[in-house]
């Protein structure tokens, strides 16, 4: 409930102004975001790689409102892919489709994503599609289905809190989709999404089992220990090796667990966001954990 209220309040322009204009917010941003520049993210990924952890590079930005903005975001992603090739870091590339214009021109969003996925494929990198607010889910699935024919390695994020997700997955069963399973990070109404942690966890477990049976190379993106334990035992039960699935976490959250899992032979990837459009990303991270609000407030009143 607190989370939903915080996400709702964070959309008010006055609140955004207050948070972004306070220089002290930077400390909190630095915990969750690698930096403003691509090179900051590359450095963070190199550091992760040295610990046996892969990266998931994310250029922050969403809800782009015009064709120029979408083209600019696509150009930034293209530079990022070229830099991955030059530096040879081990990372995937994660993209929000509203950054490529999904909200106003699905056709050109598909065109942009096709170019980026082909470039990434040419250097041996995989593209991952983030899942955004429920209003965009159907269009995101359409884009994924169109591109899957040519790029079956594309990974798609699916949200366990959405009531519709089991049906969406079932409809894609024949494609054996490569999914990143997340709980879901947006404020959604009860008619669309489960609100209670126990219900979301139950659906996450059901979907994990589905992905091990009918998906391909599942990625379990969670910091929730019991859900990671469930994935481990589901894999063992299916006779699958530790490297037949991936565990994904976010930059700045549960670093020790990430390193421990990697040291124990698990495939781990960390989502590394960079860029100056960090506001909505930061608000989702604060909303996920009420204790973060205290951390935020302490950081801005310290000094
Ligand atoms: C790699 C990755 C990609 C993601 N992609 C998407 C996406 O495309 N679409 C989408 O809707 N959501 C995405 N998410 C976010 C996801 O939906 C959840 O909001 C987020 O992961 C928190 O849920 P949890 O599974 O970690 O469980 P929780 O129950 O929220 O957290 C479990 C424990 O992890 C720690 N923790 C979790 N979050 C935080 C935090 N913000 N700060 C500090 N500690 C924390 C706490 O110790 C908490 O007790 C992604 C998450 C990951 C890890």
Residue 2 lies in a domain: no
Res 104 pLDDT > 90: yes
On whether the CB atoms of residues 268 and 290 are closer than 8 A, the answer is no
Q: Determine the pLDDT at residue 2.
A: 62
Residue 291 lies in a domain: no
User: Which tokens sit at 114?
Assistant: 């096709």
Q: Determine the pLDDT at residue 63.
A: 87
Residue 29 lies in a domain: no
Confidence of residue 106 (pLDDT cuts 50, 70, 90): very high
pLDDT tens digits for range 42-54: 999 999 999 999 9
pLDDT tens digits for range 254-296: 999 999 999 999 999 999 999 988 999 998 998 888 777 777 6
Distance of alpha carbon 210 from alpha carbon 218, whole angstroms: 10
Atom 30 in ligand 1: residue holding the nearest Cα: 288
**248 CB near ligand 1 (under 6 Å):** yes
Residue 61 lies in a domain: yes
Residue 57 lies in a domain: yes
Confidence of residue 299 (pLDDT cuts 50, 70, 90): low
Percent of the chain residues past pLDDT 70, beyond the cut? 96
Residue 69 lies in a domain: yes
**58 CB near ligand 1 (under 6 Å):** no
- 180 is annotated as an active-site residue: yes
Question: What pTM was estimated for this model as a whole?
Answer: 0.94
Residue 198 lies in a domain: yes
**163 CB near ligand 1 (under 6 Å):** no
**155 CB near ligand 1 (under 6 Å):** no
Residue with the larger pLDDT of the pair 5 and 233 = 233
Alpha-carbon distances, residue 185 vs 13, 17, 104, 129, 237 (angstroms): 20, 22, 23, 15, 30
**271 CB near ligand 1 (under 6 Å):** yes
Res 95 pLDDT > 90: yes
Distance 284 CA to ligand 1 centre (A): 9
Contacts of 158 (CB under 8 A, 6+ apart): 131, 165, 168, 169, 179, 180, 181, 182, 207
Instruction: Provide the domain count of the chain.
Output: 1
To test the ligand 1 pocket, which listed residue (250, 256, 261, 291) has its Cβ within 8 A of the most ligand atoms? 250
Q: Determine the pLDDT at residue 62.
A: 87
Q: Determine the pLDDT at residue 266.
A: 96
The mean pLDDT of 79-86, rounded to a whole number, is: 98
Q: What is the DSSP string of 253-292?
A: SSHHHHHHHHHTT-EEEEEEEESS--HHHHHHHHHH-HHH
Structural domain including 178 reads 34-277
**250 CB near ligand 1 (under 6 Å):** yes
Rounded to the nearest 10 degrees, the angle between the axes of helix 2-10 and helix 13-21 is: 90
Res 187 pLDDT > 60: yes
Res 303 pLDDT > 60: no
Percent of the chain residues past pLDDT 90, beyond the cut? 78
Residue 12 lies in a domain: no
To test the ligand 1 pocket, which listed residue (158, 201, 223, 281) has its Cβ within 8 A of the most ligand atoms? 223
Res 169 pLDDT > 90: yes
- 254 is annotated as an active-site residue: no
Domain containing residue 91: CATH number? 3.20.20.220
Q: Mean pLDDT across the chain, nearest whole number?
A: 93
Q: Which of 265, 266, 268 is nearest to 254 (CA)?
A: 268
């Amino acid at each position: 409930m607190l989370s939903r209220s915080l996400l709702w309040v964070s959309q008010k322009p006055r609140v955004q102004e207050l948070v972004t204009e306070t220089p002290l917010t930077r400390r909190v941003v630095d915990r969750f975001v690698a930096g403003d520049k691509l090179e900051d993210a590359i450095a963070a990924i190199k550091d992760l790689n040295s610990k046996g952890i892969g990266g998931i590079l994310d250029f922050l930005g969403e809800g782009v409102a015009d064709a120029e903005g979408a083209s600019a975001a696509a150009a930034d992603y293209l530079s990022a892919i070229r830099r991955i090739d030059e530096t040879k870091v081990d990372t995937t590339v994660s993209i929000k489709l509203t950054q490529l214009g999904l909200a106003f021109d699905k056709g050109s969003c598909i065109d942009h994503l096709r170019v980026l996925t082909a470039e990434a494929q040419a250097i041996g990198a995989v593209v991952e599609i983030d899942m955004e607010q429920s209003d965009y889910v159907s269009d995101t699935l359409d884009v994924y289905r169109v591109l899957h024919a040519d790029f079956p390695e594309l990974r798609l994020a699916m949200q366990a809190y959405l009531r519709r997700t089991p049906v969406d997955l079932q409809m894609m069963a024949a494609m054996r989709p490569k999914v990143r399973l997340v709980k879901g990070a947006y404020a959604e109404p009860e008619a669309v999404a489960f609100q209670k942690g126990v219900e979301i966890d139950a659906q996450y477990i059901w979907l994990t089992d589905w992905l091990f049976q009918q998906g391909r190379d599942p990625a379990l993106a969670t910091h929730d220990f019991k859900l990671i334990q469930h994935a481990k035992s589901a894999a063992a039960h299916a006779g699958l090796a530790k490297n037949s699935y991936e565990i994904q976490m976010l930059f700045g959250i549960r670093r020790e667990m990430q390193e421990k899992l990697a040291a124990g032979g698990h495939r781990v990837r960390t989502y590394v966001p960079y860029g100056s459009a960090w506001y909505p990303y930061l608000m989702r991270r604060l909303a996920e954990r009420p204790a973060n609000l205290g951390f935020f407030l302490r950081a801005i009143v310290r000094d």
